[in-house]
Structure 1
Amino acid sequence: MSRLSTEQLAAVSDEILVDHCQKGDRQSFQMLYRRYQKKVRSTLYQLCGEAVLDDLVQDVFLKAWQGLPKLRNPQYFSTWLYRICWNVATDQRRRFAKRQTTSIDMLPESSSQFAAADSGGLATLHYQDLVQQGLQMLSLDQRAVLVLHDLKDLPQKEVAEILSVPVGTVKSRLHHGRRSLRQFLESQGVQL
């Protein structure tokens, strides 16, 4: 197998990169890492907070590297990687629960579903803080669906695959999570 230049790798599909990785090409994995590192980091940040974020990101990519030889459908690499993210976030939440940690620091980057009408300064920061507080009140299941669907713009079907639940469950969690978040925001004086 010939080695590809960095420029060639940038233009190659995930499926081909995964195939090269499965044949032991570390350069291809580095390219996959560069493609997905920010998305993985952002997802973990929104699900788990900042406290051990670097460790969690490393854990996701270590598990991905170790699991790549067993990945049978390389065309679903991104869904598979988000599934690993979800598993790492769930494991982290269990560790927090064992230590009786009650605060998870989360601040969404943006949300098309819950965007603030005033995009300037303190009003936006206040609104983001309220969204953060509202998300913290949701169950991890509801929070995960809102983060993956509303903040990461993943389709409901892909969210269902990542979380290993039926699409109907995703719809239900989305509905209940949005309703709970809306009620919280309205109780804080936010007009929706």
Structure 2
Amino acid sequence: MNVLANNPAEITDLELVQKCQQGDTNSFRLLYQRYEQKVRGTLYKLCDRELLDDLQQEVFLKAWKSLPKLRHCQYFSTWLYRICWNVAYDYSLAKKRDRTKILHQAKESLQDLARVTNHHQTGLLQLHYQDIIQNALQNLSLEHRAVIVLHDLEDMPQKEVAEILSIPVGTVKSRLFKARKGLRQFLELQGVNL
């Protein structure tokens, strides 16, 4: 006897599932029609509306692919709702991961922007101070500039500076004192507090 010849409402889930497991796609179509609104309603309550159609299709696609493995055919509705729950849960996890990923990317972008801005500001500030120092050095005589560059900026000992410049160590000390005083005065005039 052809099961589908009967009124579809009188055919049990068990009969339809058994026919599906034999490859009858028409029986699956009847199961789909029977559970379509129930699955959709469940997904609607568990997930966003925007992907409702896709999620519903995913539930029934998974059901179709897994139906041959269903051992307790009399529990089809419970099994189908379990698939529905798994799809909704997977969607929720993916959405949470995406949201976390987006938040993480946004946080990284803000941190990168802050680093670039800070680096840019620090770089600009350094350039500004370098310009001021350079102007201050240019404001000194060559003899005073040489002593301060070699000793303070190049970290050479006073004795070595004296040898390089062919002057006594006492002269190096004297020039250093005057050069530092001249730098300090110039920088204070530029608004740099030391």
What's the TM-score, normalizing by structure 2? 0.49
What's the TM-score, normalizing by structure 1? 0.50
Larger radius of gyration: 2
